[in-house]
Chain A
Amino acid sequence: MTLTATTPTRPAGTAKPGRRRGIASYWRFYLALSPFYLIFLVFGLYPVASTILLAFQKWDGLGPRKLVGLQNFGFLIEDSTFWLSLWNTVVLFAMSTVPTLVIAMTLAVMLHSAVRFKGVYRIAYFIPNITSLVAAAIFFAAIFSTNFGLINSGLRALGLPTEDWLRQPWGIKIAISTMIVWQWAGYNTIIYLAGLQAIPTEQYEAAKVDGAGPFRTFFQITLPQLRPVVLFTVIMSTIGGLQTFTEPQVMVGNAGGTGQSGMTVVMYFYNQAFFNNDYGYAGAIALSIFLLVLLFTAINWRLLGGRGRR
C-alpha cells in the first residue's frame, strides 16, 4: 500500500511483475471501477455476511436478536420438511436442466445451419426468458389445470385419460419443470449459438475432406469445441435450478401443493423467514443452499473437465 516511487525498478523477466506503482497513482481507474464494488458491497457482500450471521441467531424480524450458536443447524438436520424440499429441488433440477440443455443444443445446431429468418428465430426463442415469471406461471397453471386446462382438453380430445396435474405429486413436478424448460431453453440456445459461431469453419472443412458424417462432425468437433460453453450453461443452470422459487410458488402456492411435493429449498426458506418470522432458521437454510450450489458446481466442474482449461 505504501510502496510508491521509492520501490526500485526490477529488471524484466523476474518472478514479480516488472514495475510497481502505488495504488494511489491509479486512483482514476479505481474510481471508475468503484460503482460496481460499492454496489456489490452494499447489496451483495453485506447481505451475505448478515445472512451468515443470522444463521447463528434467533430473530423474529422485529424484536431483539439472540445468539443461539448451532441450534438452527441442529434443527435443520432433524427437519423432515427441509430434507423433503432438498429432494424436491434436486429432482426438479434434474428434470428441468437435462431437457433444457438437450433442446437448447438441438435448436442451436438447427439455427446455426438455417439460412432464412435467423434473427426472427433468435428473438422468438429468447422471448420466454424475458417474460414475467409470475405471468408465465399463472399461464402454465392454467394449461395444466384439471377441468379447463389445455393439456387435459387435448388428452380428452384424443380419448386418453386426463390427469389431475397440479394435485398429484409427480404432476406438480412435471408442470414446474416444463415451465423451467420453456423459459430457459431459448436462453441457452442463444449462448450455444454464439459458441457455435466461434468454431472456425476450417475444422469443418477438414472433417468434410476426411469424410466425416454429420453425427461424427457433431460429436468430434462441435461438442468438444463447445465444452467451455456447455460448462458455463450447466453451471448457470445449476445455480438457477437450485434456486427455483417463483414457478412452484405461483403454481401450487406457498405450502408447496400436495404432500409439499412442489416445495423447493428456496421456498422453504422464504416461508420460514417471511411467513413464519423465523429469520435465523431461514438464514441457516440459505447457507445450506449456498453449500449445495457449491457442491454441485464442483461436481459439474469435475464431470465436464473444467480443470486445467485456463
Chain B
Amino acid sequence: MSDDSGLWLLALGPAGATALYWALYRYYRNTDKSHAFERETAVEAQPVTGSDGKVDEIKGTRASRISGENGGAYRMRVQRTPTDDG
C-alpha cells in the first residue's frame, strides 16, 4: 500500500456527518442570516478611481490564492487609517 492508497477516504464518514449536521442546523436556526445592506441599500457611487503598481514577484508557491484574501469579505474590518477632516 502506497501513502496515497485512498486512506483519505476514511475521513468521509466524519466529514459527511459534520457537514450534514451544520447544514440542517443552519436551515432551522438561520444563525448565518442578516440584512444584506451592501446589496439592498440604494447606493449611488461615482466611478471608482485608484492606482495599481507592481511591487514584487513570487516564484514557485503552492498556494493557489493570495494569503489573507478578503476582497469579498466586506464586513471583515482591516486596519482603519484615521481621517484628517474629523
Decide whether A and B assemble into one complex: no
